[in-house]
Amino acid sequence: MASRTDASLFAQSAETPHLLAQRFGATRRLSLDLVATLSDADASAQSMPDASPAKWHLAHTTWFFETFILRDHVAGYSLFDDRYSFLFNSYYEAEGPRHARPQRGLLTRPSLSDICIWRAHVDTALQTALPDLPPLAHTLVELGIQHEQQHQELLLTDLKHLFAQNPLGPAVWNAETAIASEVAQFSAMKWIDGAAGIAAIGHGDDGFAFDCEAPRHDALLTPHALASRPVSNGEWQQFIADGGYHTPSLWLSDGWAWVQAEGIDAPAYWDGDRQFTLSGWRDIDPAAPVTHISFFEADAFASWAGARLPTEFEWEAAAAVRDPASGQQLDAAGPVQPVAPADDIGLQQMFGSVWEWTGSAFRPYPGFRAAPGAVGEYNGKFMSGQFVLRGGSCATPRGHLRASYRNFFYPHQRWQFTGVRLAKDL
Ligand SMILES: [Fe+2]
């Protein structure tokens, strides 16, 4: 059968099959570690249409490997259960009809343990097949690993949203192991000049990248400065105290309409001086970066501060010389909450901690084209009405990020670990 998928527009993995197999195994293990404390009920509930049950994430990532690698590239492989394609296809029109996203929480069967049995079956089959797979299939394994890492972050943020609905305020990881900044107060924010002129933007080396990070191209940067760190909770409290949520002149029209319609007066998960975390309710940490804010809130705060959001190109030009594996990122299952920068030298927390809203629309770079087949639906079809976020968060698995990495959400969405770094014109 001719392959239905073509990942050739995703940058290739340069790794040997042995290294790829190791990373595949580690990634699959981390997903299971993240749900180790969950009951079947915890893993099955869905708190809103944007979020998915933990069990669904475990299943959907398995469907991805089984469909695009085992089914398409391993002769004689038969699907573990051919009904699962309907249940666990997310949005791939080329893969046929699927269960409605808002109804994922109604799937009490298959159980969490059934899904884990399927995962083990697919893992064994893939590890067995991997050494003999063609290079194209290795690229698809890499895509599957990167895809599962994205879902690990979503699993955590979806779980946080779910547990926040419970008046008991349950913790995924207990309060004794909760994390907080080592400093009590935020340090003064500084302005760091950015490079002006023409900058090369987009993915340009041999490693893996998603299709939307290319083609590499030139962008013009006007004279500007970036804030030395993301906006802190303490600064956000000042915005609130100054009537930021009640001053329409600070807000975009759509943002003001959203604030009014939803009754928004603080970041998500805030209640007075407390905030809900994956370790339950905690005191708000004034030195830590503010998180769970929408694009609308980020933009209004920037207006209040006499600044603006950075463009994604300003952010990338500054990040290109930094280590994308640095900063506060996800290393293992455990408490996840951003903390204050460890020092105040230069640009801090460019990677990890909180995703930084930019003022850039998620649109194709010049010359972009989606890959043919189902994986071409990965990013390209979402390039409408969303804004780019950069830099990753404390819930992003370490090793997943790059300077060219583009995340994207709708301007009202804020259940991810979203924050903001200010910029200004010079
Ligand atoms: Fe997915």
Tokens of 325: 């594996």
Average pLDDT over residues 137-141: 94
Tokens of 356: 């930084």
* Cα of 60 from ligand 1 centre, angstroms: 7
Q: How confident is the model at residue 12 (pLDDT cuts 50, 70, 90)?
A: low
Tokens of 11: 């940058």
* Cα of 313 from ligand 1 centre, angstroms: 26
Q: For residue 336, which of 324, 328, 344, 346 has the smallest C-alpha distance?
A: 328
* Cα of 359 from ligand 1 centre, angstroms: 25
* Cα of 245 from ligand 1 centre, angstroms: 34
Q: Which residues pair with 373 in a beta bridge?
A: 5
* Cα of 205 from ligand 1 centre, angstroms: 25
* Cα of 30 from ligand 1 centre, angstroms: 17
Question: Which residues lie below 8 Å from residue 80, measured CB to CB, with a gap of 6+?
Answer: 66, 118, 121, 122
* Cα of 74 from ligand 1 centre, angstroms: 22
Q: For residue 337, which of 290, 274, 376, 380 has the smallest C-alpha distance?
A: 290
* Cα of 47 from ligand 1 centre, angstroms: 18
Q: How many CB atoms lie within 10 A of CB 1?
A: 7
* Cα of 103 from ligand 1 centre, angstroms: 16
What stretch of H or E contains 107?
Answer: none
Q: How confident is the model at residue 131 (pLDDT cuts 50, 70, 90)?
A: very high
Q: What is the pLDDT of residues 33-46, one digit of tens each?
A: 999 999 999 999 99
What percent of the chain stands above pLDDT 90? Answer: 85
Taking 70 as the threshold, does the pLDDT of residue 175 lie above it?
A: no
pLDDT for 214 equals 94
Q: What is the pLDDT of residues 199-255, one digit of tens each?
A: 999 998 888 999 999 999 999 999 999 999 999 999 999 999 999 999 999 999 999
* Cα of 84 from ligand 1 centre, angstroms: 15
- Sort strands 270-271 and 197-201 into parallel, antiparallel or unpaired: unpaired
Q: What is the DSSP letter of 330?
A: B
* Cα of 149 from ligand 1 centre, angstroms: 10
Average pLDDT over residues 80-102: 91
* Cα of 416 from ligand 1 centre, angstroms: 16
pLDDT for 10 equals 61
382: left (phi over 0), alpha (psi -120 to 50) or beta: alpha
Taking 60 as the threshold, does the pLDDT of residue 8 lie above it?
A: no
* Cα of 171 from ligand 1 centre, angstroms: 26
Average pLDDT, the chain: 94
More confident residue, 85 or 182: 85
pLDDT for 183 equals 78
* Cα of 204 from ligand 1 centre, angstroms: 25
Taking 60 as the threshold, does the pLDDT of residue 9 lie above it?
A: no
* Cα of 381 from ligand 1 centre, angstroms: 14
Taking 60 as the threshold, does the pLDDT of residue 273 lie above it?
A: yes
* Cα of 155 from ligand 1 centre, angstroms: 11
Q: What is the pLDDT of residues 312-366, one digit of tens each?
A: 999 999 999 999 999 999 999 999 999 999 888 899 999 999 999 999 999 999 9
* Cα of 127 from ligand 1 centre, angstroms: 21
Taking 60 as the threshold, does the pLDDT of residue 192 lie above it?
A: yes
